[in-house]
Amino acid sequence: MNTLNVELAERSYPIHIGSNLLRDPVALASLLAAHIRGHQVCIVTNPTVNALYGDLLAQGLGAASVDVFEMDDGESHKNMATYAAVLDFLVTQRHNRTTCLIALGGGVVGDLCGFVAATFQRGVDFIQIPTTLLAQVDSSVGGKTAINHVVAKNMIGAFYQPRCVLVDTATLDSLPAREYSAGLAEVVKYGVIADAAFFAWLEENAHDLMMKQPAAVAMAVTRSCAIKADVVAQDERELGLRAILNFGHTFGHAIESLSGYGTFLHGEAVAIGMVMAAELAVRTDLFHRDDAQRITRLLTTFGLPVELSSNNKLAPADMLDAMGMDKKVVDGAMRFVLPASLGTVEITDDVALPLLTETLEVFA
């Protein structure tokens, strides 16, 4: 097992990364005990994940009084109605300020559970146990919690850090191929924004990753988490550096909201968004076309979409409107994270509208 730390002074927390952690109740109990301060626990999960891992987690919680809330699966359920339903459940089951919420599932579960934890009784403890690759390398780390608004993704939320993150890479064995590939999009992101050598390693080890070879998966998850932990430690509330983690997301979130949540998995939309961002960087003479093509090739190798199909084309005007609603807009100006070279990105709001429109027209 590897343990990384997100260094945030008194709110610092560990990220434990290992295989079959959920299947060892003794080890699981030792990892979680220090982060559960009361006797009440509520596991927030979905039916599929609960059937696979719910009993294993409950065993590791030992004598704690455990309640389970199952929410429907999918991005479309990360909404105000589900948020209210979890709060109603906690009140009905008489949970108090010493309770601990545990998010057992993918990014949808983790984002929603974290937002509930941030707001129930003005804030209670929570733990992230991500079971998808995307959640393991991205959404479970860093304290961004949120639910979607009908017109914009993650518009309602809070920065609220977990007590710990426990990553069991063995859960990826039960993950459908499409979900696994979606997670690899975020792994590619880290190479582009922060580590050219890691990007090259991904190219060289793409086959092993697609085969879920344990050593390759462990390397990809650990390096991704290390990059994110370092960025979050420097800029917890996205006042500067942390914005680099949004590479591909300004375009990707617009694709998700316009297409209807669920048409694209988050990682699929981000993959297309990264290709769009790379194309925009090329058109602004910031990025070399050859490197943009390397990004596209790697995403394709990982089974990810790199363009909108004929069935889901989006008009440039609609994309511009949706991007203007994104929470990364500052004083009316859209901010873009654009690659300057593999391993380095720039944050800018100085993008000429004609170049942006031309880029969107390439994909329309």
Q: DSSP for 110-142?
A: HHHHHHHHHHGGG--EEEEEE-SHHIIIIITSS
Name the catalytic one among 16, 95, 223, 253: 253
State pTM to two decimals: 0.94
What tens digit of pLDDT does each residue of 191-242 get? 999 999 999 999 999 999 999 999 999 999 999 999 999 999 999 999 999 9
Helices 214-234 and 177-194: crossing angle in degrees, nearest 10, is: 50
249 flagged as catalytic: yes
Q: Catalytic site residue 223?
A: no
Domain-by-domain residue ranges, the chain? Answer: 2-174, 190-363
Catalytic residue among 266, 283, 294, 328: 266
DSSP state letters, 233-291: HH-TT-SSGGGGGGTTHHHHHHHHHHH-TTSS-HHHHHHHHHHHHHHHHHHTTSS-HHH
Q: Is it true that 2-174 and 190-363 share their CATH fold? A: no
Architecture of domain 2-174: 3-Layer(aba) Sandwich (3.40)
Helix, strand, or coil (residue 362) = helix
Catalytic residue among 10, 94, 122, 311: 122
Per-residue pLDDT of 246-279, as tens digits, reads 999 999 999 998 998 889 999 999 999 999 999 9
Tell me which amino acid residue 136 is.
Q
**37 catalytic residue (yes or no):** no
Nearest to 162 by CA among 198, 203, 116: 116
From 153, 189, 223, 228, active-site residue: 228
Q: Which of 70, 75, 179, 238 is catalytic?
A: 238
pLDDT at 364: 81
Active site includes 242?
A: yes
149 noted as active-site residue: no
CATH number, domain 190-363: 1.20.1090.10
Catalytic residue among 16, 78, 189, 249: 249
**CA 333 to centroid of chain Cα atoms:** 24
39 is catalytic: no
Local structure of 13: helix, strand or coil: strand
Distance CA 243, CA 231 (A): 9
35 is catalytic: no
Catalytic-residue membership of 178 = no
